[in-house]
Amino acid sequence: MARGTWGGTTDPNIFSVRMLFLLGTSHCQIGFKLRDVGVQDNSAQDVADEVATRLQEPLRAILAQTDSVVGVDVLKMGTDEGGWNPAETTTGANLTDTPAELPNFIAANVALKSEIRKRYGQGRFFLPLVNDNQVNGNVITSTGLANIASFTDQIASHFMGDPLTHDLILVNAHPLLPARGAPGSPGARPEIPASWYDVVSIRVNTIVTGLRSRKAGVGG
């Protein structure tokens, strides 16, 4: 498993990515992180452009025609360097005339798993479920799972796997975590430096999630 620290002079650059979109008129986002590999030659703008190239169309494919893609916003973590790529074609491509369109708060929970079995080493984001035929009760149907896979497969293909064949790798990352008390012996968890962990699997929870908010900055 690849893992390490970020923020030091010899550490890899970590980029926080937000894919912004509208569900009707509600501002929403999908968030994840990427680390630069190799010679560390990517700027925040380079990352925004690459994510837009690889994932804008897959995102459009899961959004209803009443929804729209806004663009990709990227921050180089630990700095004020940002990048922005506005969507070229904004309208969602998922037909929702029949069956009926679902409420905006209905979503699929997509877990980003690293090999470290600690909460701070895990991540997630939420993908919208837009058609009535994508759910059955509180369970995501095969149609819904296929819709989600059209997006997650592209992330796996372009941003997961062998770092020798990728320029950017999907990671979970966190800032410095201060020491705190913990149950058992020795009764405390030591300070953990700002760290990243490669994502090794993407897992979709087949139980429907109802978000308390689909606003940007909440739930992903």
pLDDT tens, residue by residue, 96-134: 555 678 888 899 999 999 999 889 999 999 999 998 899
Task: Say what the pLDDT of residue 1 is.
Answer: 64
Range with top average pLDDT, 38-42, 120-124, 213-217: 120-124
Alpha-carbon distance values, 158 to 7, 166, 205 (Å): 25, 7, 22
How far is the C-alpha of 200 from the C-alpha of 131, rounded, in Å? Answer: 30
Write down the mean pLDDT value for the chain: 90
Task: Say what the pLDDT of residue 154 is.
Answer: 96
> CA dihedral defined by 211, 213, 214, 217, rounded to 10 degrees?
-120
**Short-list 81, 76, 75, 78, CA closest to 7:** 78
Looking at the whole model, is its pTM more than 0.75?
yes
**Short-list 32, 94, 38, 39, CA closest to 61:** 94
